[in-house]
Amino acid sequence: MSPRRPGPRDYARLPTEQTNPRTRHLHRLSSLALVRTITAEDRRAAASVAAVARPLSRAVELVARALGAGGRLVYVGAGTSGRLGVLDAAECPPTFGVPASRVVGVIAGGRRALWRAVEGAEDRVAPAAAALERLRVGRRDVVCAISSSGVTGFTLGALRAARRRGARTILVTCAPSPALAAHADLVVAPRVGPEVVAGSTRMKAGLATKMVLHTLTTAAMIRLGKVYGNLMVDVRPTSRKLRARAVRIVARLTGLGPAGSAALLRRARSRPKVAVVMGRLGVTAAEARRRLRARGDDLGAVLEGRPRGR
């Protein structure tokens, strides 16, 4: 059964709108005291994310299964929340070698909202459903809606639309409420407490949200074999820095020097995983690619002879 649309809200009651008793005299503080106050509150935000490890781990499994089966992770949000979703989506392809179409960010107000506030966009419900329609969101996908306050119309509208389309759903919010369980399959809700500046959710709520999102995608990609040890073996070496990193990865995992590792990478068409299999197992690039395909592109499974994803 779909959750009912919310009626008029008393926004003053939202956790994200409360006044922080520890920061009531900011205007009297020195610059050093302000920095210490803000960073102390940031530590509280980090602790709040650690406290939601269990629901976050379930979200990781949900996303990993969807991506592993050919589905997508679609972030949806407004304002700071939307920008954080788009940012996390944009960073997945170069870091983990996944196509840009597999992790997607949708922000209320469209692309221009990435640089400038689009007034009222967060309250409009219909554009959220339209965005999911354009993306052809379906049963193989996971829609992760992000709303610091837990009441954003655009975000909750996206969850309703996602459910109608058969997608699995996650809600990331910094305003925990039992009622939110009706909106999504999983709710990840760190309790960050009132902001340093009342209502400024780009601060602790934004920090906690960023932590949740990068933990979600990083852990899911690790589960999918995109990391070996702590090395990003699917990195796309598209810049000098990344090319140097790819050479170091191959060198570390094969024991070769920089020149030999660079030569392997060239033969592997710049794919570190392929180069490592070539160097470790003494096979051709074609054979290395075949072995990786047979093990779901999981380098650990190829090198260690274990089942993929373990």
215-229 pLDDT, tens digit per residue, is 999 999 999 999 999
Grade residue 309 by pLDDT with cuts at 50, 70 and 90.
low
Would the CATH topology of 11-223 be identical to that of 240-304?
no
- 243 vs 8 pLDDT, higher one: 243
Cα distance from N-terminal residue to C-terminal residue, the chain: 36
pLDDT by residue (tens digit) across 260-289?
A: 999 999 999 999 999 999 999 999 999 999
Establish whether 91 is a catalytic residue: yes
pLDDT of residue 5: 47
> Would you state the CATH architecture of domain 240-304?
Orthogonal Bundle (1.10)
**CA 94 to chain centroid:** 14
- Residue 4 pLDDT more than 60? no
Summarize pLDDT for 114-156 with one digit per residue, the tens: 888 777 888 888 999 999 999 999 999 999 999 998 889 999 9
Q: In the structure, what pLDDT confidence band is assigned to residue 209 with cuts at 50, 70 and 90?
A: very high
Tally Cβ neighbours within 10 Å of residue 34: 14
Distance of alpha carbon 135 from alpha carbon 127, whole angstroms: 12
Tokens of 161: 């639309």
What is the pLDDT at residue 171? 97
pLDDT for 307:
61
Beta bridge partners of 13: none
DSSP SS3 for 231:
strand
Q: Which residue has the higher pLDDT, 180 or 85?
A: 85
Check residue 9 and give its pLDDT: 62
The per-residue pLDDT for range 228-256, each reduced to its tens digit, is: 999 999 999 989 999 999 999 999 999 99
- Catalytic residue, chosen from 41, 122, 195, 304, is 122
- pLDDT, position 159: 96
What is the average pLDDT score of the chain? 92
**What are 23-63's pLDDT values in tens digits?**
999 999 999 999 999 999 999 999 999 999 999 999 999 99
Q: Which residues contact 182 (CB under 8 A, 6 or more apart)?
A: 3
Catalytically annotated residue among 17, 61, 91, 133: 91
**Is the confidence at residue 2, as pLDDT, over 50?**
no
For residue 31, the surrounding DSSP H or E stretch is helix 31-50
Q: What integer pLDDT is reported at residue 129 of this predicted model?
A: 93
The two three-digit tokens of residue 32, written as one number: 């050093």
pTM for this entry: 0.89
Is 17 labeled as catalytic in the residue annotation?
A: no
Write phi, then psi, for 26 (nearest 5 degrees).
-55, -40
pLDDT band at 101 (very low <50, low <70, confident <90, very high): very high
Classify residue 221 as exposed, middle or buried by CB count within 10 Å of its CB (0-12, 13-18, 19+): buried
pLDDT of residue 263: 96
Domain boundaries, the chain: 11-223, 240-304
Q: Which of 187, 185, 203 is nearest to 195 (CA)?
A: 203
CB distance 16 to 175 below 8 Å: yes
Task: Give the pLDDT confidence score for residue 8 in this predicted structure.
Answer: 47
Residue 7 CB partners (closer than 8 Å, separation 6+): none
Superfamily the domain 11-223 falls into: Glucose-6-phosphate isomerase like protein; domain 1 (3.40.50.10490)
Give the pLDDT of residue 17.
Answer: 84
